Amino acid sequence: MQDLIIKGEKKTYFTPDVNFSASTGICTIAGESYQEETFEFFNKLTAWLEEYIVKIRKPIEMNFKLTYFNTASARAIQEMVIVLKKYKDQGGNVTINWYYVDEEDSTYEEAEDMQAQVGINFNMIKMESNY
């Protein structure tokens, strides 16, 4: 299984950096997400996770280091979290680390709401500064 690596951009759209490693199970999304083809973008990520869960079945550490995302991206992120929750319920070893700059950030509130909604805990980790 191949790693999934996408270089983010901040010109025409805001797309995050993506680095999903099939060999370590460490997956990181970092930066900002606001784009026209939100679902196409995140579907690639979700499909990768689903393939990893079927083929590799090793621990996953998901790191969300997002400093801004619009509501369409938030919905897509929640769908990824649902996939991870299902894997955990099936006995998978899943860790979700959610990085934030400030408790006042809307991304912090989003994380709180997603945890409650999906029923999975995140490790909330304060970042020193913006990604």
Partner 1 sequence: MPYLLENLSEEILFFYKGIFSYPVIVEISHHIRNDLMLEDNLREKLFAIFVELAQNVNSYSLQRTKASIINKEVGVGAFYIIEYKNCVKIATLNQVNDEQIQKLNARLNKINVLDRKGLRALKMSFRNEAIQDKANSGNVGLVEVALKSANPILLEAIHFQNAQYALITTQINKKTD
Nearest distance from residue 92's CB to partner 1, in Å?
Answer: 21
Query: Do the Cβ atoms of 16 and 66 come closer than 8 Å?
Result: yes
When binding is defined by CB under 8 A, the residue of 90, 106, 121, 123 that contacts partner 1 is 106
Torsion of CA 113, 84, 87, 47, to 10 degrees: 140
35: contact with partner 1 by CB under 8 A = yes
- What residues between 51 and 70 interact with partner 1 by CB under 8 A? 68, 70
72: contact with partner 1 by CB under 8 A = yes
82: contact with partner 1 by CB under 8 A = yes
When binding is defined by CB under 8 A, the residue of 24, 109, 125, 127 that contacts partner 1 is 109
What is d(CA 119, CA 105) in angstroms, rounded to the nearest whole number? 21
What backbone phi and psi angles, to 5 degrees, belong to 70? -85, 180
In this structure, what token pair is assigned to residue 51?
């393939």
Nearest distance from residue 43's CB to partner 1, in Å?
Answer: 12
As to burial, measured by CB atoms within 10 angstroms (0-12 exposed, 13-18 middle, 19+ buried), residue 76 is buried
Between 58 and 75, CB nearer to partner 1: 75
Between 91 and 128, CB nearer to partner 1: 128
Strands 26-33 and 17-20, by their bridges, are antiparallel
Residue numbers at the binding site for partner 1 (CB under 8 A): 11-14, 34-36, 39, 68, 70-72, 74-75, 78-79, 82, 106, 109, 113, 116-117
